[in-house]
Structure 1
Amino acid sequence: MTATPAPARVRLKPEERRTQLINIGLRLLTTRPIHEMSIDEVAAEAGISRGLLFRYFPTKRDYYVAVVEAAGRRLLRHAKAPEQGAPAERVRGIVDGFVSFVQRRKGNYVALVRAGAGGDDLVLEVFEANRRTLTDRVLDAAGVPDPTPLHRLAVRGWLAMTEEMAIGATDDVVTTADLVDLLVGNLEQVMERFASGDR
């Protein structure tokens, strides 16, 4: 019985190697929480030694944070408002991008959320930065020029609901289009209550 040969090592530029290693981590994230990801497995798949991986990421924790940051950037690239349009249309752009992203990559996204639940401070900082960015985008799209702490709290709560519904929704319960309508309408109601002073 012959042993399976190790993958041939391919020489890459440093940035190409970093990108390759992060992409492997993003793929593996669909099958396990990030803190259960094996650095040896990542290195083997890349065709490099464990020691070479640590030339690009000084510690295992640095690698995990880089993978989570990359996942967050992918989400933020999709959850963007169009430059022009009424507030509802601009909010709809964010919601549609966010919901569609989560639903197309449900396994990966849930694994990413589990990574945040792992409690690592640096990973939690990445999650917090993404939530702040999304909150700012929603408030800007909704036409709230000078948001108060209560505005921010309300949008944070709405984003948590949006995430949970995007993860849990299936077509037999609600279509993606109807879910987006529901979420945009819900945010409009919240913002109207602020405008009317009914808090």
Structure 2
Amino acid sequence: MTVPSAPARVRLKPEERRAQLIGIGLRLLTTRPIHEMSIDEVAAEAGISRGLLFHYFPTKRDYYVAVVRAAGDRLLLHARAPEEGTAGERVRGIVDGFVSFVRRRRDNYVAVVRAAAGGDERVLEVFEDNRRVLTDRVLDAAGVHAPAPLHRLAVRGWLAMAEEMAIGAGDEVVTTADLVDLLVSALEQVTERFTPRST
């Protein structure tokens, strides 16, 4: 009787290994704060040594930042305006993508927000970069191409409200479609308040 041999370990290309390690980190991020994530656990799940993990990410902090950046990139991939359409349709595309993403991946998103609140300067910088990109996208979609500082601040405040409502309100409180309607309406009031009126 022959004993089946263990499956051969698959050798991944560097970019594939990095993607695998980041994917593991994204999954673990939903179960614990990022700074409590064990590098040994990540390496073991990937089937590699701790030393090899540090070949791809020089420090634990570099790994954490890469995980948070990947999470932000996934959100930005969904929260995009359609290339064509009216200002209202383009804004709605961003809002719908944002709300739908956050509601589908609530645990992951909350974990990223919690990581940014942890005080690590580089993690916070990634989080802030995502906020800036979203703010710029919303303003551009709304047709506001030279926003005043107060206008930009108002849109960032609206974005914080959108985030809180998408995280906190389940379907029993408001449907995704109704929440998108509410947020688009609120944003229109913000942008109208700061858009110069023709005389």
**Same-fold status (TM-score > 0.5):** yes
Mapped contact 1:10–1:47 kept (Cα < 8 A): no
- TM-score normalised by L of structure 1: 0.93
Offset of 1:168 from its aligned partner? 0.6
User: Is the 2:29–2:111 contact (alpha carbons within 8 Å) kept by the matching residues of 1?
Assistant: yes
One-letter code aligned to 2:21: L
- Amino acid paired to 2:105: R
State the match for 1:75 in structure 2. 75
1:98 corresponding residue in structure 2: 98
Q: CA deviation at 1:196?
A: 6.0
1:63-101: per-residue Cα shift (whole Å, max 9, x none)? 000001100100000000011111111110000000000
| Contact 1:9–1:48 (CA under 8 A) maintained in structure 2 | no
Equivalent runs, 1:84-163 vs 2, <5 Å: 84-163=84-163
Count of matched residue pairs: 192
1:174: which partner in 2? Answer: 174
Query: Structure 1 residues 155 and 55, CA, compared in 2 at 3 Å: closer, same or farther?
Result: same
Aligned residue for 1:3? none
Residue 15 (structure 2) aligns with: 15
Q: CA deviation at 1:8?
A: 6.1
TM-score by length of 2: 0.93
Q: What is the Cα-based RMSD across aligned positions, in Å?
A: 1.4
1:9 CA drift (Å): 3.6
Note the alpha carbon deviations across 1:172-191, whole angstroms, 9 max, x for none.
Answer: 11110000000000010111
Cα deviation, 1:109-143, whole Å, max 9, x if unaligned, reads 11111100111000000001100000000000010
- Consecutive unaligned residues of structure 1, counting only runs of 5 or more, are 1-5
How many angstroms does 1:157 deviate by? 0.3
Distance 2:171 2:70 in 1: 29
Give the CA deviation at 1:195: 2.8
Map of 2:3 onto structure 1: none
Whether contact under 8 Å (1:57, 1:63) holds in the other structure is: yes
TM superposition shift of 1:151: 1.0
